[in-house]
Amino acid sequence: MNRRIVVGLDGSAESVAAAHWAAREALLRGAPLHLVHAELWSAPHVGPSTGSEERRRAARTLLREASDELLDKHPRLAVSAESFDGQPAASLAHATTGASMLVLGSRGLGPLRGFVLGSVGMVVIHGVEQPVVLVRVSEDALPHAQGQHLDRNVVVGVDTARPCDALLSFAFAEASRRGCTLRALHSWMLPPLAGSGAAYNAEVNAQIARIERTRLDDMLRPWRDMYPAVDLDARATLGPASEQLLEAGSDAGLMVVGRRIRRSSLGTHLGPIAHAILHHCAAPVAVIAHE
């Protein structure tokens, strides 16, 4: 049986959109859906903040209504729900143990800002190694949250200088399930010591472009062989990676980016490219942990 998909639910419009997106993903995978709510999450969404019994009652109502709504729309969906009397980040991390994916809501107003003021989403992304998908509910993102773009491209950003197996495994599998095109994008910049003249040297640019394209093709070859039915659009482009990804993902159904797993508390866990994508991309964004 496929491992369950976990979705964090706090009663906000963002988390409700995340639940509906997660339900459709669960059906694609033939996986159960597990709704999780932390009773200490965000009282403005779920009712009175004073008294543990009031919180528990509000949490039960929230989870029951969400489950009923999802089952009404997707009768074949297997849904379970769980409420934790604790902090949301720890509760979500615990519930995600053994799961295949965690889905959260995000307003996209900044780096994860809007999902419980950003702190919960950021802590959870850093603390779990399963894929984490952020779903927005703004006007431009609404078609994605409503599942109207499931047949749109899956876009994955890769760096040919680093291992990308985790990202490519996730992206190819998603494109295969959806029966859509996978667009793999590698962006490159001129070497910093190339000098301004090289930027206008068409022969130099063409040579670098061929090298970068060859590296991308080499990286993708095993995955082409593994998923021959996936329509793959591979592009090596000159320019800032975040800008290139956002342009490529303007009509995408899902954007896939990576974050490095760090065992130490020092150093960044989420790089500037992933931050930019989470800030500006209307499509759901899957953050994939990798070494």
Residue-wise pLDDT for 17-28, tens only, equals 999 999 999 999
Please tell me the pTM assigned to this model. Answer: 0.85
Helix spans in 6-148 (H): 13-29, 43-46, 52-73, 88-95, 119-127, 142-145
Tell me: pLDDT of 45 over 80: no
**Residues whose CB falls within 8 Å of the CB of residue 252, separated by 6 or more in sequence, listed in order:** 149, 152, 153, 154, 155, 183, 283
- What the chain holds in terms of domains, given with CATH numbers, is 5-139 (3.40.50.620), 154-290 (3.40.50.12370)
Taking residues 36-63, what's their average pLDDT?
70
Taking only the tens place, the pLDDT of each residue in 91-126 is: 888 899 999 999 998 865 443 333 333 557 777 887
Helix (H, G, I), strand (E, B) or coil at 92: helix
| Amino acid code (one letter) for 40 | L
258: its two tokens: 């990576």
Task: Give pLDDT, residue 113.
Answer: 38
Using a 10 angstrom Cβ sphere, with 0-12 exposed, 13-18 middle and 19 or more buried, the burial of residue 209 is middle
Quickly state the pLDDT bin for 201 (edges 50, 70, 90).
confident
Task: Give pLDDT, residue 146.
Answer: 54
Taking only the tens place, the pLDDT of each residue in 221-233 is: 999 999 999 999 9
Taking residues 261-285, what's their average pLDDT?
74
Quickly state the pLDDT bin for 269 (edges 50, 70, 90).
low
Q: Are the CB atoms for 167 and 254 separated by under 8 Å?
A: no
Query: When comparing pLDDT for 122 and 240, which is higher?
Result: 240
279: its two tokens: 């800030």
Q: What is the mean pLDDT of the chain?
A: 82
Task: Give pLDDT, residue 195.
Answer: 53
Taking only the tens place, the pLDDT of each residue in 145-199 is: 455 555 689 999 999 998 899 999 999 999 999 999 999 999 988 766 555 555 5
